[in-house]
């Protein structure tokens, strides 16, 4: 699977299946994040979930936090170094602060294999509010921290290239989503 195909399919996958964690209300391509271009940025809110029966929605209204969420995708065509990831993490954390985002997925997507140093760095990144993922499209593999963390666990389910590859894409839904009220 190619980089652009992955982005299109993962965007659709998050819009449809990602509603279990957040209502995704905005999606943009090629967004500047502190001088680094994110190929895809999606934003949402956990409190705005509109799924389920009336009783489950009422229960969720009282128990689900009103947290803004995001998913940022950066494409890597060359070799990725730990310093590259640190720079992207810093930019993402600034983006989160400026947009009042409580938790986010940061996904680096490449058709090349990531080095063991880079994989180890990502596995050891323990800031709970930011799940960092490496998606290797050449090997159809995804790397992140422990699945014990809910941000990482939900990200694995939605960002895994093997699952994304099977996703059927409805091209009519592409573009910027309008914020629902």
pLDDT tens digits, 127-160: 889 999 999 999 999 999 877 777 788 888 889 8
pLDDT at 51: 54
Q: Can you say how many angstroms the Cα of residue 94 is from the centroid of all Cα atoms in its chain?
A: 16
Residue in 78, 69, 7 with CA at minimum distance from that of residue 39: 7
pLDDT of residue 52: 53
Question: 60-64, 83-87, 152-156 — which is least confidently predicted?
Answer: 60-64
Q: How far is 51 from 2, CA to CA, in rounded Å?
A: 32
Interior/surface letters 37-65, b for 16+ CB within 10 angstroms, e for the rest:
ebbbbbbbbbebbeeeeeeeeeeeeeeee
pLDDT, residue 157, reads: 86
Most confident of 55-59, 123-127, 153-157: 123-127
3-state secondary structure of 89: helix
Q: Strand, coil or helix: what is 108?
A: strand
Q: What is the reported pLDDT for 41?
A: 97
Tell whether the model's pLDDT for residue 178 goes beyond 50: no
């Amino acid at each position: 699977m190619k980089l652009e195909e992955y982005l299109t399919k993962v965007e659709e996958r998050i819009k449809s299946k990602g509603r279990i964690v957040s209502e995704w209300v905005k999606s943009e391509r090629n967004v500047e994040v502190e001088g680094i271009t994110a190929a895809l940025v999606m934003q949402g809110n956990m409190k705005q979930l509109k799924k389920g029966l009336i009783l489950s929605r009422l229960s969720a209204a009282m128990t689900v936090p009103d947290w803004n969420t995001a998913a940022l995708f950066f494409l890597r065509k060359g070799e990725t170094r730990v310093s590259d990831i640190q720079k992207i993490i810093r930019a993402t954390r600034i983006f989160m602060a400026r947009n009042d985002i409580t938790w986010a997925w940061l996904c680096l997507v490449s058709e090349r294999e990531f080095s063991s140093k880079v994989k180890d760095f990502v596995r050891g990144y323990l800031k709970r509010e930011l799940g960092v993922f490496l998606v290797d499209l050449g090997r159809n593999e995804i790397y992140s921290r422990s699945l014990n963390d809910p941000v990482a666990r939900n990200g694995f389910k939605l960002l895994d290239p093997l699952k994304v590859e099977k996703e059927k894409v409805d091209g009519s839904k592409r573009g910027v989503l309008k914020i629902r009220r």
